[in-house]
Amino acid sequence: MVTQIGDKTNAMRQNNLMEAILSELLETRFNKIEHISETGSTNSDLVSKASELPDGSILVSDHQTGGRGRLGRHWEAPPSKNLLFSVLLHPNWPIERHQLVTPALAIATVEVLERLGLRATVKWPNDVMIEGEGEKKIAGILAEYVKQENPVLVVGMGLNIEWPQQEDPAPPNSTSLKACGIEKDRWKMLIEILKNFEQRLIEISSEKGTSTFRQAYTAKSSTIGNQVKVEKSDGDIVGKAIDIEEDGSLIIENENGTTSITAGDVIHLRKL
């Protein structure tokens, strides 16, 4: 095979970039990053390699042709505009805490967005929102559990960096850093998010850390205190979202009492 000089230069640039990123992440478990220009879905790629890859493996893609969202939805992003990545984790915490990886990544992202001066929140269970005139989604998270001899979790996030902007045809109520007037390199965002994510993963793996984690989760939640409708596979429930439990379940209160919800789509009806 003949290698073109341009290809070699690009490959060197790519290696230098990955080395620079990894040197920033030395104190974390994220010690293996692969960057590709296109794939179907970074989550699917890591799920298919679940038995081979070490804890903390990251896959970043410039473009996904079959990006996946929750509940079988499609996740859209034009090439090289947004941050699309997945992380593979070998969980070292009890199984009932697995669903905390989604809020762990959401809180990690909210903290980075706050440092950029944005009012960011977590909408239960997996959306990162920007508060302004109404709330708009800036990132979504998809966590998947691979049941095997050594089970793994794959958690992927799409964070809107440059797309959509006001004029773009895009999913309703979505926004991006650029639409919020912020120019920020997606690799720098990735590094900062992963550093925070590491701290939150340490919390969920320790007995003492879970209450600190829950405090952070409730503080960053835009769902608590709202009248909500939760769309669940076995029927909808309407009520006030009053709390989040240590395992990440949402507590809804209505005339029938309180209900603990582990999965569903939440619609914020109004702030109470």
* Footprint of ligand BTN (CB under 6 A): 41-43, 64, 67-70, 73, 75, 84-86, 126-127, 140-142, 156-158
Kindly tell me the number of DSSP H helices and DSSP E strands found in the chain.
5, 12
Gap between the Cα atoms of 188 and 24, Å rounded: 10
**Closest to ligand BTN by CB, 41 or 222:** 41
**Closest to ligand BTN by CB, 258 or 262:** 262
Peptide bond into 171 cis (omega under 30): no
**Closest to ligand BTN by CB, 43 or 176:** 43
Residue 25 beta carbon to ligand BTN: minimum distance, rounded to whole angstroms: 19
Taking CB atoms, the residue at the shortest distance from ligand BTN is 140
**Closest to ligand BTN by CB, 91 or 158:** 158
Residue 73 beta carbon to ligand BTN: minimum distance, rounded to whole angstroms: 5
Residue 63 beta carbon to ligand BTN: minimum distance, rounded to whole angstroms: 11
List Cα–Cα distances, 127 to 132, 135, 202, in angstroms. Answer: 16, 11, 22
Gap between the Cα atoms of 155 and 173, Å rounded: 23
Residue 119 beta carbon to ligand BTN: minimum distance, rounded to whole angstroms: 20
Query: Containing H/E element for 135?
Result: strand 134-146
List Cα–Cα distances, 204 to 52, 92, 93, 153, in angstroms. Answer: 24, 9, 7, 14
Gap between the Cα atoms of 194 and 24, Å rounded: 10
Q: Which of 100, 122, 101 is CA-nearest to residue 110?
A: 122
How far from each other are the two terminal CA atoms of the chain, in whole angstroms? Answer: 66
**Closest to ligand BTN by CB, 73 or 232:** 73
**Closest to ligand BTN by CB, 89 or 142:** 142
